[in-house]
């Protein structure tokens, strides 16, 4: 295999990428995430920018309204598993709702996931879980991992891309608190949580802009 590489991740891949950047500094020469795990620190709360206020409002919305799936998967994943394994429409609804909630697919009553992804793309994603009967085992990851995420500073070179429909959007100064060698930070004007799926060209450009600095 390669003895020098870069890492990239979003969602749970972001958690994995953070771990690699912290634990494999000899071989992982840099990392990039499109879901930054960098929360505000107390010293930044008294002079929040408008963008930061919006990000915190989004986080509050997620915690109070949009995180029911995570609470179920992190506390009673096996109960949920029977429904996901037994019902294709149940598995479909469990996933498609997140394409509606977390993609850049319009505002208010005009939101529709097909404005961000094609029907075939979404069905392909759902079928990966349905045909392999992995809805339950993927839910189990939450039960095994919640509460075990470290928030230690990272000294390896890090890049961050912020897409507007991400669940939580870190600001540059919040990111700099955790990523001590932040080599790339960019806020984009479109895209959401599933950035590589939804905006592949923009996503690839972000990676190139980040990692070309290492040449």
Transcribe 40-96 into DSSP letters.
PPGGGTTS--HHHHHHHHHHHHIIIII-HHHHHHHH-HHHHHHHHHH-HHHHHHHHH
pTM: 0.93
The domain total for the chain is 2
Does one domain contain both 39 and 79? Answer: no
pLDDT at 33 (0 to 100): 99
Comparing 149 with 47, which gets the higher pLDDT? 47
Report helix, strand or coil for 12. Answer: helix
As given in the structure block, the two tokens for residue 190 are: 């479109």
Report yes or no: 194 and 102 within 8 Å, Cβ to Cβ.
Answer: yes
What CATH code is carried by the domain that includes residue 179?
A: 3.40.50.1820
Among 145, 177, 206, which residue terminates a domain? 145
Does one domain contain both 99 and 140? Answer: yes
Q: Supply the mean pLDDT for the chain.
A: 95
If phi over 0 gives left and psi between -120 and 50 gives alpha, with beta otherwise, what is residue 108? left
Among 124, 145, 166, which residue terminates a domain? 145
pLDDT in tens, 46-55: 899 999 999 9
pLDDT in tens, 183-214: 999 999 999 999 999 999 999 999 999 999 99
- Checking if the pLDDT of 70 tops 80, the result is yes
- Checking if the pLDDT of 148 tops 80, the result is no
- Checking if the pLDDT of 147 tops 80, the result is no
- Checking if the pLDDT of 146 tops 90, the result is no
């Amino acid at each position: 295999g390669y003895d020098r590489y870069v890492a990239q991740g979003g969602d749970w891949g972001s958690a994995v990428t953070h771990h690699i950047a912290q634990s494999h500094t000899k071989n992982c020469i840099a990392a990039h995430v499109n879901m930054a795990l960098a929360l505000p620190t107390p010293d930044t709360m008294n002079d929040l920018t408008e963008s930061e206020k919006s990000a915190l409002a989004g986080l509050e919305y997620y915690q109070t309204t949009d995180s029911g799936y995570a609470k179920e998967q992190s506390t009673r994943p096996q109960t949920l598993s029977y429904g996901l394994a037994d019902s294709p429409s149940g598995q479909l609804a469990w996933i498609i709702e997140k394409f509606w909630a977390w993609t850049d697919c319009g505002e208010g009553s005009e939101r529709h996931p097909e404005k961000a992804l094609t029907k075939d793309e979404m069905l392909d994603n759902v079928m990966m879980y349905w045909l392999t009967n992995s809805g339950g085992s993927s839910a189990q990851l939450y039960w095994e991992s919640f509460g075990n995420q470290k928030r230690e500073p990272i000294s390896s070179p890090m890049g961050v891309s912020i897409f507007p429909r991400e669940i939580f959007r870190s600001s540059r100064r919040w990111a700099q608190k955790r990523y001590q060698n932040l080599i790339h930070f960019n806020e984009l004007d479109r895209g959401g949580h599933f950035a590589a799926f939804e905006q592949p060209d923009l996503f690839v450009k972000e990676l190139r802009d980040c990692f070309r600095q290492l040449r």
